[in-house]
Amino acid sequence: MNLKIKNALISVSDKEKLSSILKVLKKHKINIISSGGTYNAIRKLGYKCIELSKYTGFKEMLDGRVKTLHPKIHAGILHDRKNKIHKNEMSRQKFPALDLIIVNFYPFQKVVIETKKPKKIIENIDIGGPTLVRAAAKNFNNVTIITNKNDYPDLIEELNKNNGKTSLSFREYMSSKAFGLTAYYDAMIANWFNKKLNIEFPERKTIFGKQFQKLRYGENPHQKSSIYINDYDDKKLKFFQLHGKELSYNNYNDIFASLEILQSIKDKAGTVIVKHANPCGVSENKKPLESFKNAYASDPVSSFGGVIACNYRINKKIAIEINKNFLEVLLAKGFDKKALRILKKKKNLRIIDISKFKMNNNTSVKNFDGSFILQNKDRIILDKKKLKFVTKLKPNKKELEEIEFAFNICKYTKSNAIALCNNFSTIGIGAGQPSRLDSCKIAIQKAKQFQPRKIVNSIAASDAFFPFADGLKILIHAGVKTIVQPGGSIRDKEIIKEANKAKIKMVFTGLRHFNH
């Protein structure tokens, strides 16, 4: 049912595009009520407006904390126009109906970004605005609610098309958007309090997100998908695309996986190559070009069409090397002009600058049907003080550093995971197998295929203990000389005995790194 709008209440923090809506309200002879900064802005633009305090007969108080919280306002919004009792009560009180509410909130999220002062942040928690919005959204049968300046064009079209009226379908759609906004706003506030109070797992957890972009499709063409930003700065991602096609769902999935690994490489030039959310090549080196070459050499077949993430700036030499291969996405901490010209020759290559990227969130979420599981991220690699050197032969200082590197890569590989490394580069990765034995076989097979000479004296990392000695024997037989694993199997003695027999070094970390 189309309803005529006679009276509108406008209260907005963001006054951009306000003149466009005022013009159409005047055209359809709609009365405007407002207060404070919005009232002044409307008058300044040359439009008539009733000041809220004159309309209610009650001056705002408590530094503006109480303005719209008044029976004349909320009765005007909430009453049912078809209910005789409601109509009689409104008539006795001489309260007019309010048919259109245009509201946006105090800029809580903007203030959170700009300051760490709790008092200022709390002062920017809007009370009256969300209350108006919820009231109007509940009574969408009778009231139109607008909460976003980007919806002004739709409201203008609706009013012009229907001669100052709005349709039920339009009101209901705007109501759904309004409740989405209030939920989003309250979730941001709740999460701010949780963070302030160091509450990692609250009794009730609401995850907020704003749609950043609709994606062409999901993992497969028949699936729909969008990417959302879960951050107080919800207008942009923390990295910037400089070139190439739009990013897909699978691109984003691999980008996130690669950035998780990359942020763990701190001191040297690190290169991470990811395919289907698993690393297929990782290297760290003092020289960025060598880092890239070593990462790619780990598994050039799997790297085809993958995502490459670098924690260094791309120069001309590296760009030439990169362009020898086919990849979907390249992430780096900046690009020289000459390098960018070379890389842009590939029209579809997605080039992304991660110079300003910083990982802040310490939790991960997995959702299924009517539930989700939440955990803090696996930030620990190993504790050197708790390492157990369980074999007769012990690793030296350099080998301990390589052990840490290998165990770190294993941590980011889907379980069951085996990572073979030599000189701070992967040479073979076995990922995502139900059997640890199969993961050992795959890691060795990869290394034999691409870098057979580097298997000898290599290091093998396992994300969990070896339940049997069979996987260990395969690694030893191939030429692995050092193994790092959590330990904790009932067959640990048998496995240590096998390692001593083969004269290899083995270290127990006491720390498991399952990644499902």
Model confidence pLDDT, tens digit, residues 153-197: 999 999 999 999 999 999 999 999 999 999 999 999 999 999 999
Does 74 share its domain with 142? yes
Q: Per the residue annotation, which of 87, 177, 276, 317 is the catalytic one? A: 276
Does 47 share its domain with 150? yes
Residue 252's SS3 state is: helix
CA distance 480 to 476: 5
Residue 322's SS3 state is: helix
CATH number at residue 168: 3.40.50.1380
Query: Of residues 414 and 61, which shows the higher confidence score?
Result: 414
What are the structure tokens assigned to 292, written together? Answer: 């890239």
Does 349 share its domain with 392? no
Catalytic status, residue 477 = no
Does 27 share its domain with 156? yes
What are the structure tokens assigned to 361, written together? Answer: 């969130």
Crossing angle between the packed helical segments 436-450 and 470-478, to the nearest 10 degrees: 10
Does 301 share its domain with 346? yes
Residue closest to 346 by CA, chosen among 421, 245, 255, 420 = 245
Which run of H or of E encompasses 282?
strand 278-285
Q: Is the pLDDT of residue 109 over 90?
A: no
Does 132 share its domain with 15? yes
| Domains: count for the chain | 3
Residue closest to 403 by CA, chosen among 474, 479, 481 = 481
Please check whether residue 390 lies inside any domain of the structure: yes
Confidence of residue 229 (pLDDT cuts 50, 70, 90): very high
Please check whether residue 366 lies inside any domain of the structure: no
CA distance 255 to 276: 10
Does 390 share its domain with 495? yes
User: Which of 353, 368, 398 is the last residue before a domain boundary?
Assistant: 353
Q: Angle at the Cα of 79 (from 76 to 81), degrees rounded to 5?
A: 105
Residue closest to 312 by CA, chosen among 268, 373, 378, 352 = 268
Residues 333-360 pLDDT 10s: 999 999 999 999 999 999 999 999 988 8
The rounded radius of gyration (Å) of the Cα atoms in the chain is 30
Does 69 share its domain with 191? yes
The structure's pTM equals 0.88
Sequence-distant (≥ 6) Cβ neighbours of residue 470 within 8 angstroms: 437
How far is CA 270 from each of CA 231, 255, 405, rounded to the nearest angstrom?
27, 15, 11
Q: Is the pLDDT of residue 264 over 90?
A: yes
Please check whether residue 302 lies inside any domain of the structure: yes
Q: Is the pLDDT of residue 69 over 80?
A: no
Please check whether residue 454 lies inside any domain of the structure: yes
Read off the DSSP letter of residue 29: T
Q: Where are the alpha helices (DSSP H) in 268-308?
A: 288-298, 300-303
Please check whether residue 499 lies inside any domain of the structure: yes
Please check whether residue 389 lies inside any domain of the structure: yes
Residue closest to 504 by CA, chosen among 486, 484, 489 = 484
Please check whether residue 268 lies inside any domain of the structure: yes
Read off the DSSP letter of residue 351: E
Catalytic status, residue 276 = yes
Residues 434-444 pLDDT 10s: 999 999 999 99
What are the structure tokens assigned to 83, written together? Answer: 């209910």
Q: Is the pLDDT of residue 61 over 70?
A: no
CATH number at residue 288: 3.40.140.20
Q: Which residues pair with 350 in a beta bridge?
A: 329
Does 52 share its domain with 140? yes
CB 355 within 8 A of CB 334: yes
pLDDT of residue 64: 65
Does 257 share its domain with 183? no
Q: Per the residue annotation, which of 138, 268, 317, 346 is the catalytic one? A: 138
Does 74 share its domain with 176? yes
Mean pLDDT of 259-269: 94
Residue numbers of the domain that contains 85 = 3-196
pLDDT of residue 359: 86
CA distance 218 to 273: 22
What are the structure tokens assigned to 141, written together? Answer: 């049968």
